[in-house]
């Protein structure tokens, strides 16, 4: 579903990503770990076509991202670290707006259902976004991906700054989506959450994917050990 083939990106000769190869299949939750500047966000930006690759290709579904950016964007949903919406509009209006940009049209009831499914409490649906907490905004983001019927989820440190309860709810949502066949690529610093929710883990260092493993292969303690081993 989501594939990087020898994907590279360099800025003025400095490599931010070197020869990345990875495959995320439907139902997989692939967690990218690594220090700041290891190339996690660059990878996600390349899948979003926000930046041009210097080499290799990013593929979503059957399309290369650079060839068919609009087609690939129909398939994916994106939740950045700090999801910003239109503060003047309510949660349900934001959802309607963004899903219409994605070419979907729903009635109020359906929109409300998506928000509820994403775990947003009912009384917040008609409140303006400027009254929302970060966790609530992330839930609208999830609702957008539900409404969009995304096959691919790109998450850039989505749980950073969330309280443990919100973080836990978020993880549960991801698992649910995964069961529905959504392929997820998530950059994160949260080793615990990666082990708990992820199906695969990749460790990145200085633009390279230095380790790939499935979460079943490793326990919490070993994952931390392995991670630190790479960082030092």
Partner 1 sequence: MANRQQFKYEWLGLLRDRWVLILSLLLLLVCIYAAYNGKEKVAERNQPIAKAMDEMKASDEQYKALIDSVAQGLKTNLPAWQNPQRLNVIGQRAARVAAFESQPLALVSTGQSDLFTHLVKPRLYGEALTLGFSELSNPVQLLFGNFDLAFVCIYLLPLLILAFSYNVLSAEKESGALRLTLAQPIQVTQWLLNKLLLRFVVLAVIVVIAFNVSLMTTGLNVVSEFSPVMKITLALLAYMLFWFGLSFWVNLRGQSSGSNAVVLVSLWVLIVLLIPAMISQLANNLYPVPSRVGMISELRYAEAEAQKNANQILESYYRDHPELAPTDTSAQKLYPFWLSYFASQDEIRKAVNPILSEYESQLHKQQQTVDQLRFLSPAVLLQNIFNESAGTSSRHYNSYRQQVVVFAGEWKNYFLPRMFRNELMKKEWMDELPHFSFDANKIEKQYTADVLALLLYGFAGFVLSFLLYRNYVTEKVLLT
CB of residue 85 to partner 1, shortest distance in Å: 6
Give 133's contacts (C-beta < 8 A, 6+ positions apart). Answer: none
CB of residue 52 to partner 1, shortest distance in Å: 6
Residue numbers at the binding site for partner 1 (CB under 8 A): 48-52, 69-71, 73-74, 76-78, 80, 82-89, 93, 96-98, 100-103, 105, 141, 144, 154
Beta carbon nearer to partner 1, 47 or 227: 47
Give 43's contacts (C-beta < 8 A, 6+ positions apart). Answer: 4, 7, 17, 20, 32, 185, 187, 204
CB of residue 204 to partner 1, shortest distance in Å: 20
Beta carbon nearer to partner 1, 105 or 165: 105
Q: Cα dist. 206→12, 40, 42, 50, 59 in Å?
A: 16, 10, 11, 20, 22
Beta carbon nearer to partner 1, 26 or 80: 80
Please classify residue 59 by burial: count the beta carbons closer than 10 Å to its beta carbon, then call 0-12 exposed, 13-18 middle and 19+ buried: buried
CB of residue 143 to partner 1, shortest distance in Å: 12
E strand or H helix at 7: strand 2-11
Beta carbon nearer to partner 1, 153 or 223: 153
């Amino acid at each position: 579903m989501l594939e990087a083939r020898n994907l590279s990106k360099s800025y003025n000769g400095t490599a931010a990503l070197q020869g990345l190869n990875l495959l995320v299949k439907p139902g997989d939750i692939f967690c990218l770990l690594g220090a700041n500047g290891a190339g996690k966000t660059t990878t996600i930006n390349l899948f979003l076509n926000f930046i041009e690759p210097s080499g290799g290709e990013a593929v979503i579904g059957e399309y290369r991202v650079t060839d068919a950016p609009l087609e690939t964007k129909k398939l994916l949903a994106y939740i950045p670290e700090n999801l910003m919406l239109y503060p003047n509009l309510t949660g349900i209006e934001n959802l309607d707006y963004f899903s219409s940009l994605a070419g979907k049209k729903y009635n109020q009831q359906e929109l409300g259902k998506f928000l509820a499914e994403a775990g947003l409490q009912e009384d917040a649906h008609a409140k303006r976004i400027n009254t929302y907490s970060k966790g609530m905004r992330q839930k609208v983001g999830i609702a957008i991906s539900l409404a969009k019927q995304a096959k691919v989820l790109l998450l850039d440190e989505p749980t950073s700054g969330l309280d443990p309860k919100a973080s836990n709810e978020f993880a549960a949502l991801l698992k649910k989506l995964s069961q529905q066949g959504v392929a997820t690529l998530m950059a994160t610093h949260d080793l615990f959450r990666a082990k708990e929710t992820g199906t695969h883990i990749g460790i990145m260092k200085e633009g390279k994917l230095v380790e790939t493993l499935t979460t079943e292969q490793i326990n919490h303690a070993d994952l931390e050990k392995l991670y630190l081993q790479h960082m030092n």
